[in-house]
Amino acid sequence: MRARGLSILLFVTRAALGGDVSVTMTADRTQASLDDQIELQVSVQGTRQGGEPELLNAEAFEVQPGGSSSQIQIVNGKVSQNLNFAFVLTPKQPGKFRIGPARVNVGGKSFDSDRIEVTVVKSTANTAGSERLFYVSGEVDNNTPFVGEQVSYTFKFFNRAQLANAQLGLPEFKGFLKEGPDRQKEAEQVVNGVKWHVTELRFALFPMSAGALTIEPVRLAADAILRQRGDPLFDDLFGGGRTRRVTLRSEPVTLTVSPLPSASRPASFTGLVGRFTLSEELGKQALAVGDSSTLTMVLEGDGNLRDFALPLLTSGDFKIYDDQPTFLLTPGPRWKGTKTFKRALVPLKPGALPIPSVELGYFDTQSKSYKVLESRKQVITASGGAGEEGLNHVAATPGGGARKQIEVLGKDLMPIKRTPAALRSDDLRPRERWLLLLACLVCPGIYAGLLFLKRSRDRLSADSGLARRRSAYREFSSRLQGIDANGANGAFFEAAAGLLREYLGNKFNLDGKAITPIDARRKLASHPLSADSIGRIEAFLRECETGQYGGEISSEEGKANQRRVLVSIVSAVEKEARG
């Protein structure tokens, strides 16, 4: 067992260093169409240490990682280990390509796999019929529209196998105003003798500028459930099959958009392009002065009506109030918009009052010429005297004074919000709430720290004794380095005694130089020092005097010993003064 463990250890070490490493690359197919995906498996044998392989010469494909796994095997005492990486390649263009090598870096060395030659063919309905299980298409009903003319864009998804987790990626439709899609339609369709399940989405697009405009591809990603080629009965009963992530793209569609002719453009043209009808209906045709009648005008057509507004009407005979227009869009092969405008007309004087007509110029895409719609000329007969007004509008009440009060005639809800900001969260999530509260608590903590620092500095600057006490040990430590045990005998003992005196003076706010062996006990008795420590201080000072003036030459070892005694005395004083 120990031998096997050792062999595994040796193998792993050798593998980590890059010995006996090989890289192989395999593909599930070498022939594919633009709608297919190729699954590449890169296997790194002999190590479990390598990073993700770098796939070279794969620019013609969209490469997505498909996961990795590692394994170690021990068979008859022989250890083998490898790493497996999966990649999903989606072709971007047809042609012959040599993919690879896959390059792996192990322990600073690079290892390459062989290359694989792949042929990608264009996807067409014909090949789809024989081989493929899915494909998509995107097409328009008109490749050469005018600016503002409706173009119907249809995205179709053809499939013959089950899908799950489908995600649709719509392009931005740059250069177009977009309506839709409508509800998806599903149907069965036979293409070249093959029955397909077709899912269809339709959009209405309105080009906003002249020139070449491109509709980018629509992307559909989904997990395809593929039946194994086994027993169909078994598969049906037990759901045999495997899933494969597929990404399908429609072909980009390029339109050549023509500008609108400038010749013969009517004055009332405001940008409507398409085919339109205008109808109107008048509520009360006979009413009293001050009463109101509603004129409803309905504009229908296949142009972009969402942002269209009727020209303002002015008349000396009426007060005219515009209501909020309503807009309805009906999907179909050609999307049709219906915009309804309501105007309240309040006659200002009695008599037969003509309603001003409305002119709408538009560009007719069928006849490729400008046309003008005109509302019918109608007359309201107003009789004298004011009556009750029944419209949902705000109107000035006729009155005798120069200033008229505004009377609210009706109320309705304010309209819905349409800005994308509707998807911005206004709520405070619990984690955010606690983080903010934590931030509130941290600030007082920082302030307390600043206050403590400030007070400490103030105390130090106000109390010189405290400053001396605080710096006593630090100064002692720094000066202790300067005492040379190898130096002259007298100088050493003088410096050692002086250092102790200065330390004691700083520590207890005394005149340190004046402490002698004779009066040390008296001067230190009132401070928190034990009798033992005071005794040691006395003895040390006495020995230093002896060493300094006694004439006896102390050995280097003796001086080093004195120095240790000095340090131990100061340590004891520090401890006792603190306690």
Partner 1 sequence: MRIVTALLLAGAAAFGAENSFERLHEANQAFDRADYQTAVQGYQALLAQGFESGDLHFNLGNAYFRTASLGSSLFHFRRAWDLRPRDPDLRFNLDYAREKVADQMESRDSLWWRVLGLRGSVSEKEAYHALVLVTFLLLVVSGTALYRRSDWLLWARNGLIGIWAYGAIVVTYQTLLREPFGVVVVSEAKVYSGIGKDNVTLFTLHEGVEFVVADAVGGEWIRIRLSDGKQGWIRTGDAVYEKG
Site residues, partner 1 (CB under 8 A)? 51-52, 64-65, 68, 167, 169-170, 326-329, 411-428, 432-433, 436-437, 439-440, 443-444, 446-447, 450-451, 454
Which residue, 377 or 411, is less far from partner 1 as judged by CB? 411
Which residue, 426 or 511, is less far from partner 1 as judged by CB? 426
Residue 168 contacts residue 181 (beta carbons within 8 Å): no
Is the preceding omega at residue 181 within 30 degrees of 0, hence cis? yes
The span from the CA of 41 to the CA of 87, in Å, is 6
Which residue, 164 or 439, is less far from partner 1 as judged by CB? 439
What's the number of CA atoms in the CB half-sphere (13 Å) around residue 378? 20
What's the number of CA atoms in the CB half-sphere (13 Å) around residue 222? 22
Please give the helix or strand (H or E) that residue 440 lies within, else none.
Answer: helix 430-462
CB of 13 to partner 1, least distance (A): 25
CB of 266 to partner 1, least distance (A): 29
Which residue, 89 or 566, is less far from partner 1 as judged by CB? 89
CB of 433 to partner 1, least distance (A): 6
Which residue, 212 or 439, is less far from partner 1 as judged by CB? 439
CB of 413 to partner 1, least distance (A): 5
* DSSP 3-state of 138: strand
Which residue, 407 or 458, is less far from partner 1 as judged by CB? 458
Residue with tokens 């022939």: 31
The span from the CA of 452 to the CA of 467, in Å, is 16
The span from the CA of 298 to the CA of 272, in Å, is 15
Which residue, 33 or 82, is less far from partner 1 as judged by CB? 82
Which residue, 218 or 500, is less far from partner 1 as judged by CB? 218
* DSSP 3-state of 75: strand
Nearest to 208 by CA among 180, 178, 176, 179: 176
The span from the CA of 118 to the CA of 32, in Å, is 8
Nearest to 501 by CA among 487, 511, 493: 511
Instruction: Give the pair of three-digit tokens for residue 314.
Output: 């002015």
Please count the helices (runs of H) and the strands (runs of E) in the chain.
9, 33
Which residue, 436 or 525, is less far from partner 1 as judged by CB? 436
Which residue type sits at 551? G
Residue with tokens 């020209």: 311
Which residue, 316 or 430, is less far from partner 1 as judged by CB? 430
Residue 233 contacts residue 187 (beta carbons within 8 Å): no
Give 267's DSSP letter.
T
Instruction: Give the pair of three-digit tokens for residue 493.
Output: 């003992």
The span from the CA of 313 to the CA of 320, in Å, is 7
Which residue, 204 or 382, is less far from partner 1 as judged by CB? 204
Which residue type sits at 494? E
Residue with tokens 């264009």: 122
The span from the CA of 387 to the CA of 530, in Å, is 111
Residue with tokens 């498996």: 41
CB of 439 to partner 1, least distance (A): 5
Which residue, 133 or 205, is less far from partner 1 as judged by CB? 205
Burial of 324 (0-12, 13-18, 19+ CB in 10 A): exposed
Give 331's DSSP letter.
-
CB of 140 to partner 1, least distance (A): 20
Residue 509 contacts residue 523 (beta carbons within 8 Å): no
CB of 44 to partner 1, least distance (A): 13
Which residue, 419 or 526, is less far from partner 1 as judged by CB? 419
Instruction: Give the pair of three-digit tokens for residue 176.
Output: 């177009």
Which residue, 267 or 421, is less far from partner 1 as judged by CB? 421
Residue 507 contacts residue 469 (beta carbons within 8 Å): yes
Residue 6 contacts residue 35 (beta carbons within 8 Å): no
Nearest to 241 by CA among 259, 215, 223: 223
Residue with tokens 């240790």: 564
CB of 442 to partner 1, least distance (A): 9
Q: What angle do CA 438, 439, 444 make, to 5 degrees?
A: 95
CB of 428 to partner 1, least distance (A): 4
* DSSP 3-state of 403: coil
Which residue, 187 or 450, is less far from partner 1 as judged by CB? 450
